[in-house]
Amino acid sequence: MKIAIFPPNSLILADLVERRGHEALVLQKEIRKRVTDVEIDSPPLNITAEEPIKGLKYAAIEVPSGVRGRMAIFGPLIDAAEAAIIMEDAPFGFGCIGCARTNELSMFCLRKRGIPLLELHYPTTREETMEVVNKINTFLDGLNKEGESNG
């Protein structure tokens, strides 16, 4: 199954999803398409003027172009997701997802999709981490069983 993760660039989430045989919809795959595209030749920019226009599918015109540009990257991942894992309260500026409004909109879009969803808090201690890992594994195993029963 294709699993959307949030933060979409999280090592722990992506790794755990792949360990259970699912495909993690990570941000890096979308970024790769843009930075290795032969048509885009303007380093260090990897966003073109097209992105805020594509982002209109997810956010209104009055929303800042930064949010729309980001949504043009996150949006296709959200659309392709068959299940999702959201880890809230990740450390501020977690990689390249430092835009709080985009994060809120992405999480809202994931919740609105009506797909199987697991919501967690970013762990800070040993106990919390172990619980989070066990919960993610239980959730992913449940998806496997669901997939098998649906044929």
Partner 1 sequence: MSLEESSKVTRMIILGPAANISQPELIRKLHMMELPLTIKSTCYGAVVNGEESVVNKAVEQARNLDYCNIFTKDRGFPPGDPRRCRAKRGGAREGFHQLEKEFELLGFVSEALEHPKKVSLKKPTKISVDTFKEIAKECEK
Q: Which residues bind partner 1 (CB under 8 A)?
A: 9-12, 14-16, 18-19, 26-32, 34-38, 41, 43-44, 91, 93-96, 118, 123, 126, 129-131, 133-135, 137-139, 142
Any idea what the Cα angle at residue 114 is, between residues 19 and 15, rounded to 5°? 15
Q: Which residues of 63-82 are buried (b: 16+ CB within 10 A; e: fewer)?
A: beeebbbbbbbbbbbbeebb
Q: How far is the CB of 49 from partner 1 (least distance, A)?
A: 19
Nearer to partner 1, 105 or 140 (CB): 140
Nearer to partner 1, 63 or 96 (CB): 96
Nearer to partner 1, 29 or 54 (CB): 29
What Cα–Cα distance (Å) separates residue 149 from each residue in 7, 61, 118, 139, 146?
Answer: 30, 43, 20, 15, 5
Q: How far is the CB of 76 from partner 1 (least distance, A)?
A: 14
